[in-house]
């Protein structure tokens, strides 16, 4: 059973802080191993990647077989049923439609001093998407990562997906094809991250790496950051449901389990203003666990990290939600839009009892790559903006330089940067010379 907390209890604050600080991330000491792998790939390129692929994925490749050929992709996606293809295409269409309006406009103007200022946006030239491999891989993650990159205008999009024992998920290849991915390599782990960041004889380096992975992949992304950009370091999945008693307990139980079944370290929380309803949801979770295929995983998550919190009212629920800053937040209340105005820290908000979080994982449209571990307090989910960079523009006229240059010169002298000041002064002096 999960924890049951009540904000009226004298020890609530202590118990709630302990819940917030519970260490869920599986963080084995992998940094030394990852460092060795990255160094090896940097030094030996393809040879290191192939050796590590043979070791960890039990798959022997040659450089010319690291990438899936067009024929291999065609043969694999041909095995996808028409129903699965239609579902992927619908998801892709909705994701693309949601992300396209995110493209920001360039801007330029002339200020009162006559200086022309502005900015322009441009995509990164190449991006790499890491996809966990094997038959348990997630084609939805391919869509969620690749489509925003293509909407942003990324010219070259590369996917790395391990194929342990040669196992390939045809849906992943189809999702990559639908998304406009340019290259797909059957490699994974820290070696794939290193190859994307530094390049090998076969794989050209990229500018940004996105996508989920295990502890080794996460550690590798941390280590190559700076050489390339990364999206985020994601932890175990999490959901917070705020629900009143006017809900079906079984629906809420299934919503909680939809995240619990991801990982034994995932966290599912319920906040309600009705204690009896909270108990009914907990009972419904136990009932569903009797038949759930991933009951062992979901049950461990619910037992070790789940909680039902009873509050005085929904304002108090919103306050607790902001402290939790959940990855996914469901508002199953009478006025979800109103309550959403008070819940300012969340990766994604799902409004009303007819909007289960699972819709967001697949076909809602907004991205499902979201900040975890309370990082929604300061970061956002993946978007088109993650694949764009802003370049500022400035152009002075002689009149503009005459107006603002002396202040730049003075500030340069105050910082003891003589050449800075002189570069401005030389131009100002030329403006002050008598014209012949």
In tens, the pLDDT along 333-378 reads: 999 999 999 999 999 999 999 999 999 999 999 999 999 999 999 9
The one catalytic residue in 261, 327, 330, 357 is: 327
- In 3D space, the residue among 256, 252, 232, 254 whose CA is nearest the CA of residue 244 turns out to be 252
Give yes or no for residue 141 having a pLDDT over 80. yes
* Averaged pLDDT, 214-243: 94
Beta bridge partners of 122: 389
Catalytic residue list contains 327: yes
pLDDT given at position 137: 75
For the chain, the average pLDDT equals: 95
* Averaged pLDDT, 399-425: 97
pLDDT given at position 134: 63
Catalytic residue list contains 328: yes
The one catalytic residue in 328, 330, 357, 368 is: 328
Task: Please give the structure tokens belonging to residue 325.
Answer: 């800053």
Torsion of CA 79, 368, 92, 185, to 10 degrees: -50
Torsion of CA 48, 52, 53, 57, to 10 degrees: 180
Q: Report the CATH fold assignment for 3-25+235-364.
A: Rossmann fold (3.40.50)
pLDDT given at position 235: 84
Q: What is the DSSP letter of 332?
A: E
pLDDT given at position 200: 98
**Look-up of token digits 């006229």:** 397
pLDDT given at position 226: 96
pLDDT given at position 110: 98
pLDDT given at position 356: 98
Q: Report the CATH fold assignment for 31-230.
A: Rossmann fold (3.40.50)
DSSP assignments along 1-63, one per residue: --EEEETTSTTHHHHHHHHHH-------S-HHHHHHHHHHHHHHTHHHHHHHHHHHH-----G
From 18-22, 85-89, 240-244, the region with the lowest mean pLDDT: 18-22
pLDDT given at position 234: 83
Encode pLDDT of 180-216 as tens digits: 999 999 999 999 999 999 999 999 999 999 998 888 9
Give yes or no for residue 28 having a pLDDT over 80. no
pLDDT given at position 27: 59
Encode pLDDT of 284-314 as tens digits: 999 999 999 999 999 999 999 999 999 999 9
pLDDT given at position 1: 85
With a pLDDT cut of 90, the percent of the chain lying above it is 92
Give yes or no for residue 25 having a pLDDT over 80. no
- In 3D space, the residue among 213, 158, 162 whose CA is nearest the CA of residue 54 turns out to be 162
Can 3-25+235-364 and 31-230 be said to share one CATH topology?
yes
pLDDT given at position 307: 97
For the chain, the structural domain boundaries read 3-25+235-364, 31-230, 396-432
Instruction: Beginning with the edge strand found earlier in the chain, give each strand of the sheet holding 267-272 in spatial order.
Output: 3-6, 307-310, 267-272, 238-243, 328-332, 348-351
* Averaged pLDDT, 43-54: 98
How far is it, in rounded angstroms, from Cα 408 to Cα 330? 52
Q: How confident is the model at residue 26 (pLDDT cuts 50, 70, 90)?
A: low
Encode pLDDT of 372-398 as tens digits: 999 999 999 999 999 999 999 999 999
* Averaged pLDDT, 96-106: 98
């Amino acid at each position: 059973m999960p924890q049951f907390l009540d904000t009226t209890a004298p020890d609530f604050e202590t118990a709630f802080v302990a819940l917030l600080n519970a260490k869920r991330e599986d963080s084995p000491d992998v940094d030394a191993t990852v460092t060795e792998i990255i160094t090896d790939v940097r030094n030996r390129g393809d040879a290191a990647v192939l050796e590590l692929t043979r070791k960890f994925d039990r798959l022997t490749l040659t450089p010319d077989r690291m990438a899936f050929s067009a024929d291999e992709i065609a043969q694999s996606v041909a095995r996808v049923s028409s129903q699965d293809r239609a579902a992927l295409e619908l998801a892709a269409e909705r994701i693309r439609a949601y992300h396209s309006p995110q493209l920001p406009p360039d801007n330029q103007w002339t200020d009162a001093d006559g200086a022309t200022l502005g900015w322009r946006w441009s995509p990164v030239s190449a991006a790499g998407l890491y996809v966990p491999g094997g038959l348990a891989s997630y084609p939805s993650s391919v869509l969620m990562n690749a489509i925003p990159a293509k909407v942003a205008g990324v010219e070259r999009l590369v996917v790395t997906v391990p194929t342990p024992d040669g196992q390939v998920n045809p849906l992943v290849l189809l999702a990559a094809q639908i998304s406009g991915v340019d290259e797909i390599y059957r490699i994974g782990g820290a070696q794939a991250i290193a190859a994307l960041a530094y390049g090998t004889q076969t794989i050209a380096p990229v500018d940004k790496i996105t996508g989920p992975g295990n502890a080794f992949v996460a550690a590798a992304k941390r280590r190559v950051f700076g050489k390339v950009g990364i999206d985020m370091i994601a932890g175990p999945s999490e959901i917070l449901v705020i629900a009143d008693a006017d809900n079906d307990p079984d629906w809420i139980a299934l919503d909680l389990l939809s995240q619990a079944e991801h990982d034994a370290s995932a966290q599912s929380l319920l906040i309600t203003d009705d204690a009896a309803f909270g108990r009914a949801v907990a009972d419904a979770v136990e009932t569903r666990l009797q038949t759930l295929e991933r009951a062992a995983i979901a049950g461990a998550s619910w037992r070790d990290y789940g909680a039902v919190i009873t509050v005085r009212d929904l304002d108090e629920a919103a306050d607790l939600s902001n402290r939790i800053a959940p990855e996914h937040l469901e508002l199953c209340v009478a006025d979800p839009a109103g309550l959403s105005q008070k819940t300012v820290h969340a990766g994604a908000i799902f409004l009303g009892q007819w909007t289960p979080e699972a819709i967001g994982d697949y076909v809602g449209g907004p991205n499902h790559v979201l900040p975890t571990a309370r990082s929604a307090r300061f970061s956002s989910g993946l978007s088109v903006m993650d694949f764009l960079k802003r370049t500022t523009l400035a152009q002075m006229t002689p009149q503009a330089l005459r107006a603002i240059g002396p202040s730049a010169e003075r500030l340069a002298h105050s910082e003891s940067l003589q050449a800075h000041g002189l570069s401005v002064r030389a131009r100002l002096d030329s403006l002050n010379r008598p014209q012949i």
